Amino acid sequence: MLHLPRRPRRNRRTAAIREMTQETTLSLSNLIFPMFVLEGSNVKSEVKSMPGIYRFSLDTLLEEIREVTDLGIQAICLFPNYPEEKKDKRGTESYREGTLYLNALNEIKNKFPDLTLMTDIAMDPYSSDGHDGYVENGEIVNDISVEILGKMALAQAKAGADILGPSDMMDGRVGYVRGLLDAEGYTNVSIMSYTAKYASAFYGPFRDALDSAPRFGDKKTYQMSPANAREALVEAQLDFDEGADFLMVKPAIPYLDIIKLLHDNFDIPVAAYNVSGEYAMIKAAAQNGWIEGERAMLESLMSIRRAGAKAILTYFAKEFALAQNG
């Protein structure tokens, strides 16, 4: 017999003790469900690289939102898919009145006033260049982009958004958007800034869903290098000072250290985006019978919470809700 005064296994001995000593919890209230809207009616089209995730026309989207809110989901983030002919260099469709996206936000807010409605601010769904900012001579021009993003932000606030999510990574956009919102009386509209958004291979399936892949080059002049962590602190300090309400890290699983870094250094809530590629990997392996999908999902989401994220944007939200209800 070993003489061991401390045996950690005692605290793992029964289910009740394990639950009593559980350090991190995960609940549906932590999750934000990203959803996709496209033109037309009676459309529900599956994203090939994201099994179980669909693009909806507004009518079917409203039915789906009814279903997911009935399951207990309290927050969604909406993204639009626009046809090529609606796109231009300045992404003007992003702030013109009565567009697909703004109209959808409006209808959702009217029908589901208690649902937390998050939006995306970036030019890529509307840009003929497929970039998040304005392109001139092959370069993404920061300050002109910020001006366009500001118009988009105001239009989304007017349409009923609760939380705006600038995902563009331009410099100075959080402060600029905060200033515009406040000047127009939208002091209650929050900003969840994509603070440390990395130039990642894990966005591939999302770009399929939106048909929004960049038409040339990549996003490395505005999204961060996967090699950098200290730079995330610079971005976080700026977003904090500019008035962000949440600091987001994206993707999530490959960047748990960054989530923890921001959590340990800032006193506002940290969010994480468990992105399309992270979802696709688990789905693909599960469909092949190579891993247990549901357990892998729960473990992933728990690890993101453990690293310090309060809010998690995840395509697993509905599945998590179903698992809880079931």
Instruction: Name the residues annotated as catalytic.
Output: 197, 250
CB of 283 to ligand PBG, least distance (A): 13
For ligand PBG, give the closer residue by CB, 133 or 308.
Answer: 133
Interface mask toward ligand PBG for 240-279; x: CB under 6 A: -----------------------------------xx---
For ligand PBG, give the closer residue by CB, 193 or 276.
Answer: 276
47, 105, 119, 120: which one binds ligand PBG (CB under 6 A): 120
Q: CB–CB of 199/219 below 8 Å?
A: yes
Q: In Å, what is the CA distance from 47 to each residue of 44, 282, 289? A: 10, 15, 21
* Cis geometry, peptide bond prior to residue 269 (ω within 30 degrees of 0): no
94, 167, 195, 314: which one binds ligand PBG (CB under 6 A): 167
Residues between 177 and 206 that touch ligand PBG (CB under 6 A)? 203, 206
For ligand PBG, give the closer residue by CB, 109 or 207.
Answer: 207
CB of 124 to ligand PBG, least distance (A): 5
Site size toward ligand PBG, by CB under 6 A: 11
For ligand PBG, give the closer residue by CB, 139 or 182.
Answer: 139
Q: CB–CB of 88/124 below 8 Å?
A: no
76, 81, 95, 132: which one binds ligand PBG (CB under 6 A): 132
- Write phi, then psi, for 212 (nearest 5 degrees): -125, 20
For ligand PBG, give the closer residue by CB, 124 or 129.
Answer: 124
For residue 319, say whether it is annotated as part of any ligand binding site.
no
**Nearest to residue 325, comparing CAs of 30, 20, 28, 26?**
28
Which 3 state secondary structure label does DSSP give 56?
A: strand
Which 3 state secondary structure label does DSSP give 271?
A: strand
Q: CB–CB of 204/169 below 8 Å?
A: no
How far apart CA 300 and CA 282 sit, in angstroms, is: 10
**Helices within the chain (DSSP H only):** 15-20, 58-70, 100-111, 142-159, 173-183, 204-210, 230-241, 256-265, 276-287, 293-307, 317-325
How far apart CA 119 and CA 34 sit, in angstroms, is: 9
For ligand PBG, which stretch binds (CB under 6 A), given 120-128, 150-158, 229-237, 262-270? 120-128
49, 65, 90, 124: which one binds ligand PBG (CB under 6 A): 124
List residues forming the annotated binding site for Mg(2+): 235
Which residues are at the interface with ligand PBG (CB under 6 A)? 120, 122, 124, 132, 167-168, 203, 206-207, 275-276
List residues forming the annotated binding site: 235
